[in-house]
A and B are shown apart, each in its own frame.
Chain A
Amino acid sequence: MKKTLVVMALIIAMIPVLSACESGDVQQLIYYAKLWAIVHDVTNEEGQPTFGAGTRFVAGEALGVGTTGDEEGDAAIDAGRVVYKIKQAEDEAEKGRTALYAGDSVTVDVLPHYDQATKLRPGDWSYRNERGIAYLANPDIGDQESVKRARADFDQATALAKKSGRQEEYLRMLKQRQQTFERFVGEKNKRQAAVNNVVYQEESRLYDELYQLTKDNNYLLLKQQADTNAVRGQ
């Protein structure tokens, strides 16, 4: 609301500056800014501020109707803080990822970053998927506890994806989990490090779920491979 109010002051203050601007790519931006001010009745065609618009803005804000006119527009125009948090969460998750793939301590170097990422973006299922896989890779807590914690995170990721009520969102979530599993196993293989059996077992469950959902036979083959790897590792 405050921002909508101050836009008046800005546009009015901008008029002499805008008029003085010269050519260049930026001139286009200035042209649109001036046009915006005219069509939204902030200034007249000559660039003079129209104070009636100011009164309407103030009245609108005072009555609590100072919005873009729809919820989506309001959310989009105010998205700055949301994307700032996404960036913070992404930076945290990246630190966790790097440590996980490097084989650093899961308890000390990986989980705190994913915890922070999920705290910053509790509605984002991707960090829960990744943290779930980090739990499976954690030798400090034992297989049973690893699986328990991983499944808790996977269940939460599933619940978040299903909340949308869209099958494609659910599938997108499962595929992100699949990519994370595959990257984790790939990085382990690259370092010739042993992969915990529970990783393959959970991977197998995932492929089964993906097969049930898509009926894509490739997932059956991938499931067989994961099952073989799990047996071979025992």
Chain B
Amino acid sequence: MTTPEAPTRPKRRTGRIIGLTILGLVIIVLGIGTLLFFRVPQNMGLLPSKAERYLSGTPDREKAAVLTQDLQQAGFPTQGVSVYVLPFGDTNRNVVVVVLDASQGFDFGKSRGTDPVKSITKLMVDAQRMGIDRAAVIYRDEAGKELVSVTVPTDAAVAYSQGSLSDRQLMEKVELRVGDPPAALALLQRMK
């Protein structure tokens, strides 16, 4: 006589193996998803970000120098301010990136009564005249950490400066990202 359990053993083992395989696959998929979600490969430099893919060309230092001078003439504090004009991939388009770096001495408080938004808008208008299609502004805190970055097409800034766009319509064109929310909050509290 044979025992009734004997033939079921391999089935159980097979079921366990299948179950563990599925569980393992789920864990792997979730792990990969989490890594991609938090852009770990890009942050570790394993995969290039879109910025690295498209903004790897040679900066136009002459245009950047002209724009920096324009900012200075507008009364905007230029200590800790860096301006970069970069070609966008292999296209005719260009992007200007303005870095306001508090760790290098940038201080909104030194704007001598000038409206910082107006100064930056003027820079964007000048940039558009130079054939620059998009502007980005990055703010870094005293530790050099990137707090906020915003971007807007320069033609929107031109339309705004000419009164064809309202504040609200301009803001619709603006994209914003925050790198460090607690630090950005602390900055705003200091501004009070």
Q: What total of chain B residues lie within 8 Å of the partner, measured CB to CB?
A: 64
Q: Closest approach, in angstroms, between the C-beta of B174 and any C-beta of chain A?
A: 6
Chain A residue nearest in CB terms to B98? A83
Say if the beta carbon of A35 comes within 8 Å of chain B. yes
- CB pair B171–A32 under 8 Å, yes or no, is yes
Say if the beta carbon of A108 comes within 8 Å of chain B. no
Interface size class of A (residues with CB under 8 A): 35 or more
Segment from A15-23, A147-155, A190-198, A216-224 that makes contact with B? A15-23
Cα(A193)–Cα(B118), bound, Å: 50
Produce 1/0 per residue, A50-87, CB < 8 A to B: 00000000000110100011011111111111110011
Say if the beta carbon of A3 comes within 8 Å of chain B. yes
CB-contact partner of B52 in A6, A20, A62, A82, under 8 A: A82
Residues of A within 8 A of B108 (CB): 25-26, 29
Say if the beta carbon of B66 comes within 8 Å of chain A. no
* Residues 3-57 (chain A) with a chain B CB within 8 angstroms: 3-4, 6-7, 9-10, 13-14, 17-18, 20-22, 24-26, 28-32, 35-36, 38-40
- CB pair B113–A25 under 8 Å, yes or no, is yes
Residues of A within 8 A of B167 (CB): 31-32, 35
Say if the beta carbon of A173 comes within 8 Å of chain B. yes
Q: Closest approach, in angstroms, between the C-beta of B66 and any C-beta of chain A?
A: 15
Known interface pairs A14-B185, A21-B188, A164-B87. Does A28 touch B116 (Cβ–Cβ under 8 Å)? yes
Cα(A1)–Cα(B54), bound, Å: 18
Cα(A29)–Cα(B92), bound, Å: 32
Cα(A123)–Cα(B57), bound, Å: 5
Q: Closest approach, in angstroms, between the C-beta of B68 and any C-beta of chain A?
A: 14
- CB pair B174–A36 under 8 Å, yes or no, is yes
- CB pair B171–A35 under 8 Å, yes or no, is yes
Q: Closest approach, in angstroms, between the C-beta of B7 and any C-beta of chain A?
A: 45
- CB pair B38–A80 under 8 Å, yes or no, is no
- CB pair A10–B133 under 8 Å, yes or no, is no
Residues of B within 8 A of A76 (CB): 51, 55, 95, 97, 134-136, 151
**Interface, chain A (partner B; CB < 8 A):** 1-4, 6-7, 9-10, 13-14, 17-18, 20-22, 24-26, 28-32, 35-36, 38-40, 61-62, 64, 68-69, 71-83, 86-87, 121-126, 160-161, 163-166, 169, 172-173
Contacts beyond the supplied A14-B188, A29-B108, A123-B56: 13 A-B pairs with Cβ under 8 Å:
A17-B192, A25-B115, A30-B191, A32-B167, A72-B54, A75-B51, A76-B151, A80-B51, A87-B82, A121-B56, A160-B57, A160-B58, A173-B58
